Amino acid sequence: MEWGISLYPEFTQPDLLRSYVGRAAELGCRRVFLSLILSHLNFSGALSPESEDFDRVFSLCRDKGLAVTVDVDDVLLSALAGTTEEAVAQLARRGVDCLRIDSGASAPLLDAAKHHGLRVELNAADLDVSTPPRRQAGEALVRELLSRFQPQEVQGCFNFYPRTGTGLSLGRVEAVAEFLHGCGIQTAAFVSSLSAEPVLHAPGRGVCTVEVLRDTPPETAAAVLRCCGVDAVLIGDVSATQEELTALSAACAGEVLSLPVVFHRDCPEHVRYALTHTAFANRSDAPEFVLRGTETRGTPVQPFRTGPRPPFCVTVDNCRSAQYMGELQIPLEPLPPCREANVAGWVLPDAQVLVPFLRDGSRRFRLTEYPG
C-alpha cells in the first residue's frame, strides 16, 4: 500500500517543512498533496497559488523523488493564466506531476494535461454509485477520462474534511473504490494525524476522509481503508510525528494487518509472546459471535481471569479446553464467563473499527502490544 503526506507551506516554517519531507521520504513516502485553491476558498492565511513558497516545495519534493499532486478548479486556472492550456503548462513547468480536478473535467483541461504529460486525479468523493442513475453518471465521467488517458494515468482520491463531523461513511468509500477498481483506476484517501495542531480549521480535529476514522491512529486507519479497497493513504494534517510516520510506513509495507491490544497484567509472558508473534486469520467457517484464530493451539495456558467476555476483549483458551488450548478468540458481542477461556486483554477502542473486516478470513492479522 502506498502512502503520502499533505503539505501546507503557508502554515509551516520552511526548516520544519524540509525536515518533515526528508523524514517522510526516508520512510518510504512516495507522494505529496498540495492544495492551491485554499486562498479562494477563504481559508485564513492561505497563500496565493502564484507564491514562490509553492515552487520551493515543488523543488524539494522533486529532489526527494516524490510525486506532487495539486488541486485545480476553474478559478485557479483563470488566476494562473489566460487559458487553460497556459495554466496547465505553467503547473507542469513548476514541477507538478498530477492534477486533482476539483470542479469538473472539462475537455480543454484534460487535453492540456495529456499534452503536458500530467496524470489526472478525480475527486472520488464526487462519485456516488448508490443508485443506477448516479452510477451511470460516474461511468460517463470515467469513460471521458479513459478516452484520453490510460488507466494508470488516472487515479481517484477521496476528499479531505477538516470540519469535524463532515467526513464520508466507510460504506460509500468501499463502494466507490470497488467501482473504480472495476475501471482499472486506483484510489487514495486521507487519514488523520492525532498529534498535529489543526491548521485548516482551528476548532477541528484531524483532516481525514472517513468520519469514523477521524480519531483513529493513521496506521490503523490505513489498515481499515486497505480492507475497503483503497490503494493509498495520505496524512491529511501537516507535521505528523516521527512515531506516526514510522507506524504508517510499517502498516503500509506489511501484508499482515496489525491489531493493537492491551494485555491484562495477569497474562503470562509466554502467552503474550505466542499471541504477538503469530499471524492469524479467522476460520473460513466464520463463527457468528467471535473471531477465531487456531494458529496458537497447543500453547500451554493455565486458567486465569475467566470472567465475562465483553466485545473486543482478547481471550485465549486454557488447559480446561483440552485440544483447543491456546486458541485465540475475540468476541463480537457480550458473552458470559467461560471456564475454558482466559480474558488476556482488550483491543484498543480506536482499533475496534478494524475487527469486523477480519471476519471473512481473507485477511491475516497479528496482535501488537500497545506500548502505553
Chain segment 8-21, per-residue pLDDT in tens: 998 889 999 999 99
Q: What string of H, E and C letters represents the secondary structure of 2-62? A: EEEEEECHHHCCHHHHHHHHHHHHHCCCCEEEEECCCCCCCCCCCCCCCCHHHHHHHHHHH
Per-residue pLDDT, 372 = 55
Per-residue pLDDT, 82 = 81
Q: What is the pTM of this model?
A: 0.91
Q: For residues 161, 165, 168 and 171, what is the CA-based torsion angle, rounded to 10 degrees?
A: 150
Per-residue pLDDT, 105 = 76
Confirm if 21 and 15 have CB atoms less than 8 A apart: no
179: helix, strand or coil: helix
Residue whose grid cell is 475527486: 123
340: helix, strand or coil: coil
Q: Give Cα separations from 361 to 55, 266, 282, 358 (angstroms).
A: 47, 29, 4, 6
Report, as ranges of residue numbers, the positions in the chain whose pLDDT lies below 50: none
Question: Which domains are present in the chain?
Answer: 2-254 (3.20.20.70), 259-369 (2.40.100.10)
Whole-angstrom distance, CA of residue 228 vs CA of residue 235? 17
Whole-angstrom distance, CA of residue 35 vs CA of residue 147? 27
Q: How far apart are the first and last CA of the chain?
A: 27
Per-residue pLDDT, 371 = 72
Chain segment 211-247, per-residue pLDDT in tens: 999 999 999 999 999 999 999 999 999 889 999 999 9
